[in-house]
Amino acid sequence: MTSDTRPLSLNVPEPGCRPGNTPDFSGFEIPRAGAVPRPPVDVDPDAIRDMAFSIVRVLNKDGEAVGDWAGALSTEELHEGLRHMLLLRTFDARMLNAQRQGKTSFYMQHLGEEAVSCAFSRALEPGDMNFPTYRQAGLLIASGYPMVTMMNQIYSNAEDPLHGRQLPIMYSSKEHGFFTISGNLGTQFVQSVGWAMASAISGDTRIAAGWIGDGSTAENDFHAAMVFASTYTAPVVLNIVNNQWAISTFQGIARGGVGTFAARGHGFGIASVRVDGNDYLAVHAVAKWACERARRGHGPTLIEHVTYRAGGHSTSDDPSAYRSRREAAAWPLGDPVERLKKHLIAIGEWSEERHAQAEAEVLDTVRTAQKEAEAIGTLSAGKVPSPRDMFEGVYETMPPHLIRQRQEAGF
């Protein structure tokens, strides 16, 4: 050791705000709505490098839609979008409560992130395939997947399409472009690239959308997905939902805050964009742009949806143990439902009265679905899947050893 060498020390990033502290997002740079121009879909990724460091926003603080990215949705579509987000939020609240009542073992809500999956879904076409994580149920709700079926899955009852094999919320629906959810993080990101490669190999026109959270970008499969997507110019939209938190771990532990998550696309030559994840119009506009890019053969796009996980990580998590209770309220991009509501009111297409009525209707819809699902059964009562079924579907044809084990188990 030379005389001027001091002992090294390990850098462990810390969030700005722990329980008891006052949230401070003053260092979080938010460009004004409409500031980022909309490039053509065949743009060279190198020409839009700045977009990975800015944020595409459409709705301004007065609820007006401004800039190049505005105007992609009709009033009817906006009404529908608001309804989808309300449905998802209400569904979440009811299922959270059902878990507390012991009707199911587990649930994960989307509070504050409703715009991301609900708005993205609208940019896809039938036949496209999402490779979601456990926090994009808006893709199902916005594509018209029956809410009762979602609840049947959560309750693991006799009508659960997955026959009680899967943990609650790990939905699967090929028909609705929703790939089977896995508990293993990041795995589906690279699978989405493979699905997109298959579409290209087959001369198809369908595209894939991969999904990953900020924390899981640290998984090796994030890197694998990026290199394969770029190498083969796969028709895929790679979505990072940056909700600032991975359970108790703030995004800095996945090395967020150094550059941006979107900027990671630059090293791979992937068009990379950051979007206001709480702005329904912006998420939809960017999704539509990226999907068109992919569908026209211009290659992959990486989208970082900047949002905030307002709820606990799951029903097994208490966020007040690691972050301030006031942080969600202080989040500078606000609430996606409130912002779309404000926009609809600003353009004269909505009112507080209509909103209250819509909330009541949505609650009624969700309650009705819940009654229907619970009439079939819940984890603790009613009709359950056959134990015989756990031996099915391991292989297409049950091999002899599984037949023997099923008999041994008495089914």
Partner 1 sequence: MARMTMIEAIREAHDAAMAADERVVVFGEDVGFFGGVFRCTAGLQEKYGKSRCFDAPINESGIVGTAIGMAAYGLKPVIEIQFADYVYPAYDQIVSEAARLRHRSNADFTCPLVIRMPTGGGIFGGQTHSQSPEALFTHVSGLKVVMPSNPRDAKGLLLASIADPDPVIFFEPKRLYNGPFDGHHDQPVESWKSHPLGEVPDGDDIVPLGKAAIRREGAEVTVLAYGTMVFVAEAAAEETGVDAEVIDLRSLMPLDLEAIVGSVQKTGRCVIVHEATRTSGFGAELMALVQEHCFYHLEAPVIRVTGWDTPYPHAQEWEYFPGPGRVGEALKKVMED
- Minimal distance, residue 163 CB to partner 1, in Å: 6
Q: How far is the C-alpha of 192 from the C-alpha of 208, rounded, in Å? A: 6
State which residue, 328 or 379, has the beta carbon closest to partner 1: 379
Q: 172 or 365: whose CB is closer to partner 1?
A: 172
Nearest approach in angstroms of CB 208 to partner 1 is 7
Q: Which of 135, 80, 94 is nearest to 113 (CA)?
A: 135
193 vs 340, which CB is nearer to partner 1?
193
Chain residues in the site for partner 1 (CB under 8 A): 129, 131, 161-163, 165-166, 170, 172-174, 179-180, 182-184, 187, 190-202, 208, 220-221, 223-225, 227-228, 231, 393-396, 399-401
Distance in angstroms (rounded) separating the CA atoms of residues 138 and 116: 8
State which residue, 126 or 400, has the beta carbon closest to partner 1: 400
Closest to partner 1 by CB, 231 vs 320, is 231
Contact assessment for residue 211 and residue 131, using Cβ atoms and an 8 Å cutoff = yes
Give the length of the chain. 411
Rounded least distance, CB 145 to partner 1, Å: 12
Spatial contact of 333 and 306, defined as CB atoms under 8 Å apart: yes
Which distant-in-sequence residues (6+ apart) come within 8 Å of 390 by Cβ? Answer: 163, 164, 165
Alpha carbons 311 and 330: distance in angstroms, whole number:
14
Say if residue 409 is exposed, middle or buried (CB neighbours under 10 Å; 0-12, 13-18, 19+).
exposed
Closest CA to 140 of 86, 176, 174: 176
Q: In whole angstroms, give the CA distance from residue 171 to residue 339.
A: 29
Q: How far is the CB of 274 from partner 1 (least distance, A)?
A: 25
Q: How far is the CB of 251 from partner 1 (least distance, A)?
A: 23
The smaller minimum CB distance to partner 1, of residues 39 and 269, is found at: 269
Nearer to partner 1, 189 or 350 (CB): 189
Name the minimum Å distance from CB 354 to partner 1: 38
Q: Which of 269, 268, 207 is nearest to 236 (CA)?
A: 207
CA 95 to chain centre: 18
Contact 379, 105 (CB under 8 A): yes
65 vs 302, beta carbon nearer partner 1: 302
- SS3 category, 357: helix
To partner 1, the closest distance from the beta carbon of 357 in angstroms equals: 37
Please report how close the Cβ of residue 149 comes to partner 1 at its closest, in angstroms. Answer: 12
